[in-house]
Structure 1
Amino acid sequence: MVDFTLPDLDDKKRSLKEWRGKVIVLNFWATWCPPCREEIPLFIAMQKKYAADGLQVIGVALDNKTAVMVYRQSANINYPLLIGDEEHVMQIMERYGNRMGSLPYTVIMDREGQFAVRKLGAFGRDELQYVLEPLLMTAAAPSKLP
């Protein structure tokens, strides 16, 4: 897991390692990105369906805080949203394999923090479930948990 720290919408510093031991869907997005907005309902549904099985969706917005707060409310987003300035978020995306900085970009990590999938572009429901279900069936290794 390539750790990073960004503030959430309440200005609380959040570190990716907080979610160690979970299957992480890390979605880089922006309110001005139509494909990003189209896939958010899917992430909301997956978080609701699989949270008890150890899934954690995390959104990283390449946007301004006010726009993200308004969008979170209107879309009823049920997972953490982190935000940072363009330069910082672009550096994080590059470390996660997105050198172009294109959106949407999603990285899925297993419970041990290993990359399972990196995808440029929007996920479809069947495709996302196909990736997530085997990862969620694998128990976390006790030695890897904090």
Structure 2
Amino acid sequence: MRSVRLLAPALAALLLLTGCTETGAQDTTADQGFVNGDGAVAQWDRPTTQPVTFSGKTISGTDFSSKRYLGKVVVVNFWYAGCPPCRAEAPTLNSLATKYAGDVQFVGVNVTDDRATAAGFERTYRSTYPSIVDQEGNASVQLAFASSKPPKAVPSTLVLDRKGRVTARIVGLANKSILDTLIQDAVDGNAA
């Protein structure tokens, strides 16, 4: 609950700036395919899910399995190459992945691109963590998180605790300081 109190002023400012809909969800534009505005943040004192397990082939062709990272905090980011907010948040994700290297595993989930397009994005933005090409796996990673994020909410970033349970979610462009706080809370065990 400490983090929620710390984040309250920032969240209030974000709500004023983002123009949320009546339901509190971010405005989405179907023909654009991405979530507009800054990220809507949710953090829970207790995880909202049972442990989520997922796996898939990374852009480099290696196998990724969340089971390998049980005992670590995992940050999962859903993205695709043509998404302007995804490009805008790439430096934030890379910076935080470097900051938490060894303690937190970051993984991207590319939701629409073929392997070559996704690889081009990773080269351009110098990604420091692996990404799964989910459309080649019949969207199995997206299905694994179906109860944790809106289906077409891209970008979205989820923070999983050491047991693989969702403790926080950002729908839309991730703010660096807010995501940093959500990750640190999970590392410290304050999110669950």
Root mean square deviation of aligned Cα: 1.7
8 Å CA contact 2:54, 2:65 repeated in 1: yes
Question: Once the two structures are superposed, what CA deviation does each residue of 1:64-90 show, in whole Å capped at 9, x if it has no partner?
Answer: 111111111111111011112174154
Consecutive unaligned residues in structure 2, runs of 5 or more:
1-50
Quote the residue 2:78 is aligned against. Answer: 28
Identical columns (%): 27
8 Å CA contact 1:90, 1:101 repeated in 2: no
Quote the residue 2:127 is aligned against. Answer: 77
Q: Does 1:56 align with 2:108?
A: no
User: Larger Rg: 1 or 2?
Assistant: 2
Structure 1 residue 16 displacement after superposition: 1.3
Structure 1 residue 105 displacement after superposition: 1.2
Consecutive unaligned residues in structure 1, runs of 5 or more:
139-146
Name the TM-score, length of structure 1 as normaliser: 0.84
- Equivalent residue in structure 2 for 1:103, among 154, 163, 171: 154
Quote the residue 2:118 is aligned against. Answer: 68
What amino acid does structure 2 have at the position aligned with 1:26? V
What is the rounded CA distance, in whole Å, between the counterparts of 2:66 and 2:179 in structure 1? Answer: 21
Quote the residue 2:165 is aligned against. Answer: 114
What is the rounded CA distance, in whole Å, between the counterparts of 2:124 and 2:184 in structure 1? Answer: 29
Q: Does 1:39 align with 2:89?
A: yes
Quote the residue 2:180 is aligned against. Answer: 129
8 Å CA contact 2:53, 2:144 repeated in 1: no
Q: Does 1:11 align with 2:54?
A: no
Question: Once the two structures are superposed, what CA deviation does each residue of 1:74-133 show, in whole Å capped at 9, x if it has no partner?
Answer: 1111101111217415423424x2243220011101112121102211111111111111
8 Å CA contact 1:94, 1:101 repeated in 2: no
What amino acid does structure 2 have at the position aligned with 1:98? K
Name the TM-score, length of structure 2 as normaliser: 0.65
Structure 1 residue 40 displacement after superposition: 1.2
